[in-house]
């Protein structure tokens, strides 16, 4: 099943037989997939199908939850991130994450962006200034908030907050950006801004996005993976998934017969 869509791309993330259990119940069942570099890969599927859980295994965010057991391998740049010797802190610098609900800190816009560089030991004001401006420009929000850098980030609109969170992630120079339904709480205009931004960002970053919105997956992604009940049902180029899916289940979901 794999590889027919990947012949021309570098593989960034390779997942082998990944299973995840919450206590005794299995949430992911032997998932294997390959995710190409500098593309947008979308995960779709009904609620509770495991797509968000799977996304969170890619930067080990599930470590925060008690009682989780993980089997299998996730290989990013030739290293299995579930190895015992892995430095999770540095892994998360490399694999950034945007959450469903925008979550800026209760600090100023500037301090939000500068948080990542600061914990990495950058103290010089000029360097921080430069990172803040660059990140905000990359996240296409600089022009809107350049005059409010020192106001509380919580005073921004929902869409601005989400782009601020993207800028905050960009400020630590990740290679992969995980987005967990980044636009599900936003209005259509903010959503389209985020989608444009994703198109911009994929020139430099590998983007993996979980979405409930199938139009969004169709519009923004290069590849789409369909999850159902903890299984990866099908993964292919987005146009193929949406026009000519191989599996009946995928077709039923996409055409709105369930989910």
> Is the separation of the CB atoms in 162 and 102 below 8 Å?
yes
Q: How far apart are CA 193 and CA 153, in angstroms?
A: 19
> Is the separation of the CB atoms in 177 and 207 below 8 Å?
yes
* C-beta closer to other proteins: residue 66 or 143: 66
| Contact flag: residue 243 with other proteins (CB under 8 A) | no
* C-beta closer to other proteins: residue 8 or 89: 89
> Which stretches of the chain are DSSP H helices?
51-57, 88-94, 109-119, 125-138, 142-145, 158-170, 188-201, 214-220, 238-243, 248-254
Structure tokens at 140: 């296409």
| Contact flag: residue 189 with other proteins (CB under 8 A) | no
* C-beta closer to other proteins: residue 118 or 137: 118
| Contact flag: residue 152 with other proteins (CB under 8 A) | yes
Place of tokens 């660059």: 134
Size, binding site for other proteins by CB under 8 A: 32
In the list 97, 201, 208, 254, the residue contacting other proteins (rule: CB under 8 A) is 97
Structure tokens at 201: 């960002």
Shortest CB 79 distance to other proteins, Å: 16
Tell me which residues touch other proteins (CB under 8 A): 59, 61, 64, 66, 89-90, 92-94, 96-97, 99, 101, 103-107, 115-116, 118-120, 151-152, 154-156, 165, 168-169, 172
């Amino acid at each position: 099943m794999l590889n027919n869509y990947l012949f021309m791309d570098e593989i960034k993330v390779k997942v082998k037989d990944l299973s995840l259990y919450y206590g005794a119940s299995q949430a992911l069942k032997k998932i294997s997939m390959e995710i190409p570099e500098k593309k947008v890969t979308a995960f779709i599927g009904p609620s509770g199908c495991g797509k968000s859980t799977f996304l969170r295994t890619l930067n080990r965010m599930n470590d925060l939850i008690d009682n989780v057991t993980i089997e299998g391998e996730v290989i990013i740049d030739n290293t299995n991130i579930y190895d015992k010797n892995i430095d999770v802190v540095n892994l998360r610098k490399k694999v950034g994450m945007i959450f469903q609900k925008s979550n800026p800190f209760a600090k100023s816009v500037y301090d939000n962006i500068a948080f990542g560089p600061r914990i990495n030991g950058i103290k010089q004001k000029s360097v921080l200034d430069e990172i803040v401006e660059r990140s905000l420009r990359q996240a296409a929000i600089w022009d809107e908030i350049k005059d409010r850098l020192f106001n509380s980030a919580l005073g921004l609109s929902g869409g601005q907050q989400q782009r601020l969170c993207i800028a905050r992630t960009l400020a630590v120079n990740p290679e992969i950006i995980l987005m967990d339904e980044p636009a599900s709480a936003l209005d259509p205009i903010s959503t389209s801004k985020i989608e444009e931004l994703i198109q911009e960002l994929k020139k430099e970053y590998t983007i993996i996005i979980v979405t409930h919105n199938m139009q969004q997956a169709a519009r923004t992604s290069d590849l789409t993976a369909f999850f159902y009940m903890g299984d990866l049902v099908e993964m292919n180029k987005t146009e193929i998934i949406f026009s000519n899916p191989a599996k009946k289940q995928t077709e039923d979901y996409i055409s709105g017969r369930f989910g």
